[in-house]
Chains A and B, each alone.
Chain A
Amino acid sequence: MNSDSSDLLLDVNNLRVEIAQRQGTLTPVDDVSFKINAGEIVGVVGESGAGKSITGAAIIGLLERPAGIAGGTVSLLGQRIDNLPLKELRKIRGSQIGTIFQDPLTSLNPLQRIGDQLAETALAHLPVSRSEARDLALAALEDVGIPGAAQRLNAYPHEFSGGMRQRVVIALALIAEPSLVIADEPTTALDVSVQAQILTLLKDLCLKRGMGVMLITHDMGVIAETTDRVVVLYAGRVAEVGPTASVMRAPLHPYTAGLMGATPSATRRQGERLQQIPGSMPSLRNATVGCAFAARCQHVMPQCIDVRPPLIEHESHEVACYLHDPTVAPDGARHQLISSHGNSDGVGQ
């Protein structure tokens, strides 16, 4: 196997999720494509309703009727996983894809001791005996930095603090050594000091084991500090994909630029006015024909309203915006975007 194909871990191609409703079909994820390589942390960022979590749920096959994958493919290590029967899918969940959700209390069984939950997961996915599973559980708790791990194996979830509980969830997700971890807002419910601990832990463990991580969050600061590449979602579509530092310093899509300008930051000058994006994200019921951001965009052109912009490669990014399509936009407009957002957002200057 050559190195190019072995590096590619997850390949999401033109993924489309539909929810059938009496009033018509909603499309919360519409033609989303991105890749995750082994050992890479990819951030998926967007505001509420952007389709971040549904994309994650679709990848691990957690969508339930009336929602379902209506198009596109999801491949893990070259194997398609979007059309697998439930039995096959259950083998992949946990063993090849680990998941970490926002609220650690609802991801753990409140009636089962932590050690039993960990050992059960190891037994389900690995060819180990009961006592070996127990040893693995202890090692997993030690790896995530839980003090006194041997005694804590017999504790119930409610006996842990929020941060410690999220560590247990991480141990649970990683015990079968999956190649991909999907972390959906793993630190949103935690305080900043604990958030820093959990993110550092996640980063260290993934690097050590060469896992790929899909980190879903709405927090641009978390994206900046944790991820290698970022996928910016807007209204169920990909707005921009690229290396994190480059996307955040010199955003190409007007939505990414607006998001950066609107984010308050401790490094910004005091009293500096925040840029605001007028309006709010369109409702799923009013699906747009053209660019979903057109109604809020200050660079809107006639094409934006009529025809949906395709994802085009520009510099090191992929961006769905006509401003960067030389056949549509004059050079002047592109220049204007960079000068109105890129230099005034106080980032990376």
Chain B
Amino acid sequence: MVQNMSRALVEVQGLGKRFDVSSPWLNRVLAREPKRYLSAVESVDFVIEKGTTFALVGESGSGKSTIAKMLVGLMPPSTGRVVIDGVDLMQADALEQNQLRRRIQMIFQDPYASLNPRWRIDEIIGEPVLAFEPEISRRDRSRRVAELLEQVGLSATDAHRYPHEFSGGQRQRIGIARALASKPELIVCDEPTSALDVSVQAQVLNLMRDLQTELGLTYLFITHDLSVVRYMADAIGVLYLGSLVESAPASSLFDTPQHPYTRMLLEAAPRLDGFGRQHQPPAGEIPDPINRPSGCFYHPRCPFVTPKCAQEQPLQRSMGQAQVACHEVERLPVYHPGQVIEPSVSN
């Protein structure tokens, strides 16, 4: 990753998604309720360099999967732009969109739900090949399927079997082979190993890294698991209630986390060497995304809260290599792993 070699493949600017969660029209009129909206994602900016892995980390309700869907064009954004290799995904005409689509693929979380149980493996992997090369001959197509299967560590003879004959890890390999079928540049991975056991997760994560080196792939990696992020990511964005609170290169995020929420996440994650570790568990829970707190969304749980935090939403500012959305970031104590943070507020 040399600085002058790097080129942005994905640019996300001011991305937002608002869902209408109002009651049905008649109930609303009778109860004189206003319309209610849920902001799942709000003004998110990030850039993914070609050939690198950008990870989005967050707890449930942080908008991770919504961003993934908007990036691959499965869901239109309410505000903002997704620019892929200089082309705006929403402004592009049908032909351009179609060309972009083959360059973006997705790997899903649940390998049991993401493969059609009635299709054989050669049909599952062959479909995207056919979609992007309609002229391809039957023989070339099955040769391509065999190549893809071997690339992900399965055997070419597996092409005639059905998904139920495979274990979870093997199914996820099939999902990866299907994503590779259109020779993509960007793969959006939404919790690709959350449903897998650790020993199988290691196989799949290693495979994904090998494929990245071999094919020069760019990954957007979405997960709630910080330890997996440490293994996979070059840069990381931390989401809380739909907004980025911190984005930084992986090494800097783990060694010197800036935002109080990032610090909390690192502290709360169980450690393999944390034998008998005594630590103050974080206070509070994720608030209701429909009635988000005022100001900084994290202020009711933040140990470093000031009156300003409740009033004003913090803007992103640079802090070392990181972009942090926190009013107090310059005045926070230096982070030491394992430090006990006494919460100054309780809820």
Contact = CB atoms under 8 A, between A and B. Distances in A.
A282 to B, nearest CB: 11
Contact of B198 (A197, A220, A271, A272): A220
A72 interface: no
Interface in B169-212: 169-170, 197-203, 205-206, 209
Contact of A147 (B199, B275, B276, B347): B347
A47 B199 contact: yes
Looking at A200, A225, A266, the one whose CB has the most chain B CB atoms below 10 A away is: A266
Given A268-B230, A270-B251, A276 B274 contact: no
B139 interface: no
Interface string B39-63: 0000000000000000000011000
Contact of B205 (A194, A219, A274): A274
A225 to B, nearest CB: 4
Contact of A225 (B60, B265, B277): B277
Given A192-B265, A259-B198, A270-B251, A163 B274 contact: no
Contacts of A191: 59-60, 224, 286
Nearest to B282: A193
Contact of B230 (A219, A270, A277): A270
Looking at B197, B251, B275, the one whose CB has the most chain A CB atoms below 10 A away is: B275
Contacts of A218: 197-198
A265 interface: yes
Interface in A239-282: 244-245, 248, 258-268, 270-278, 280-281
A115 to B, nearest CB: 21
A328 interface: no
Contacts of A268: 227, 230-231
A73 interface: no
Given A48-B197, A270-B250, A347-B273, A280 B169 contact: yes
B254 interface: yes
Contacts of B227: 221, 263-266, 268
Contacts of A48: 197
A194 B274 CA distance: 18
Given A225-B275, A274-B231, A259 B199 contact: yes
Contacts of A280: 167, 169-170, 199-200
Interface residues of A, number: 50
Interface string B243-284: 000000011001000000000111111111111110101100
B130 interface: no
A343 to B, nearest CB: 14
A273 B224 CA distance: 20
A16 to B, nearest CB: 24
A48 B169 CA distance: 12
Contacts of B281: 193, 196-197, 199-200
B226 interface: yes
A89 interface: no
B285 interface: yes
Contacts of B12: none
Given A221-B274, A262-B198, A276 B251 contact: no
A47 B203 CA distance: 14
Nearest to B231: A264
Nearest to A223: B270
A274 B200 contact: no
A195 interface: yes
Contacts of A262: 198-199, 201-202
Nearest to B269: A192
B271 A47 contact: no
B272 A193 contact: no
B228 interface: yes
Given A193-B59, A274-B205, A348 B197 contact: no
A192 B274 contact: no
A194 B60 CA distance: 11
A264 B203 contact: no
A245 B206 CA distance: 27
B293 to A, nearest CB: 15
Nearest to B337: A267
A161 interface: yes
A112 B97 CA distance: 52
Nearest to B250: A270
A245 B275 contact: yes
Interface in B147-171: 167, 169-170
A271 B170 CA distance: 24
Given A224-B272, A347-B273, A266 B230 contact: yes
A222 B265 CA distance: 15
A7 B39 CA distance: 54
A347 B270 CA distance: 13
Contacts of B206: 273-274, 276
Contacts of B251: 270
B345 to A, nearest CB: 13
B232 to A, nearest CB: 8
Given A195-B268, A280-B200, A161 B169 contact: no
B57 to A, nearest CB: 10
B231 to A, nearest CB: 4
A258 B202 CA distance: 10
B59 A348 contact: no
A221 B271 contact: yes
Contact of A277 (B167, B199, B231, B347): B199
B197 A193 contact: no
A244 B169 contact: no
Contact of A220 (B167, B169, B205, B272): B272
A144 to B, nearest CB: 13
A60 to B, nearest CB: 25
Contact of B231 (A147, A244, A272): A272
Given A191-B60, A196-B268, A224-B275, 10 more contacts: A47-B197, A161-B285, A220-B198, A259-B199, A263-B202, A265-B230, A266-B230, A273-B209, A274-B205, A347-B273
6 contacts: A191-B59, A193-B59, A270-B230, A273-B209, A280-B170, A280-B200
Interface of B: 59-60, 167, 169-170, 197-203, 205-206, 209, 224-228, 230-231, 250-251, 254, 264-277, 279, 281-282, 285-286, 347
